[in-house]
Amino acid sequence: MIRVQTEDFDLGAELKALTAGNHGIGGLCSFVGLVRDMAGGEAIGAMTLEHYPGMTEKELARIEAEAQARWPLDATLIIHRYGRLEPGDQIVLVAAASAHREAAFEACHFLIDFLKTKAPFWKLEGTPGGGQWVDARDSDDAATARWTQAPGKAAE
C-alpha cells in the first residue's frame, strides 16, 4: 500500500491495520524517518518537501512491487509525507510483513534504500542563511547498489 500525504501518521495504528486478520504473518519490520535539527553543522528550522505528483506514486508502487517479487511478503506499506515539516516530525514510514523475520528485515531495508534514490522527492532545508536544497548523497546510491550487486540474500 502506498500513501503520499501532508498529514502525520500513527505508527502503531498503521502497523496494526497492516497485519490485521493475517495470522500467517510472523514478522513485521518497520522503519520511520524523522527530520533532524542539524545538517552539515547548521541548525535547521524547518524543511519543505516537494514531490512530483503522479510519478511519486508510480515510482513507490514500482519499488513496492520489486520488494514483493524478491521476498515472500504478506504485506507492505509505504507512507511518505510532503510539505512543511519541523525537526522531530515523522517523514516516512516503510514496513514489510512476512512469515519469517529475514524477509521482513531485508525487504524493509530494501524499501527505504530504493525509496531514497528513486522516489521523486526533494528537501529544501530552512537554515539561518536561507533555504538550501539538500544534495543527494553518494552513500545513498551505494546503499541502493548493494541490492543489485548481491540479490537473493534472503535465500542464503
Partner 1 sequence: MTAPVKLLYFAWLREKAGVGEEDVQPPTTVATVAQLIDWLEAQGGGRAEAFADRKVVRVAVNQEYVSLNHPVTAGDEVAFFPPVTGG
Q: What are the residues binding partner 1 (CB under 8 A)?
A: 33, 49-52, 54-55, 58-59, 80, 91-92, 112, 115-124, 133-136
Select 70 or 80, whichever has its Cβ closest to partner 1.
Answer: 80
In the complex with partner 1, the residue whose CB is nearer, 68 or 132, is: 132
Spatial distance between the Cα atoms of 149 and 81, rounded to a whole number of angstroms: 30
CA-nearest of 123, 114, 97, 13 to 61 is 114
Distances in Å between the Cα of 2 and the Cα atoms of 58, 76, 154 are: 9, 9, 24
- Residue 14 pairs in a beta bridge with none
Task: Give the residue with the Cβ less far from partner 1, 26 or 52.
Answer: 52
Q: State in angstroms the smallest separation of the CB of 140 from partner 1.
A: 8
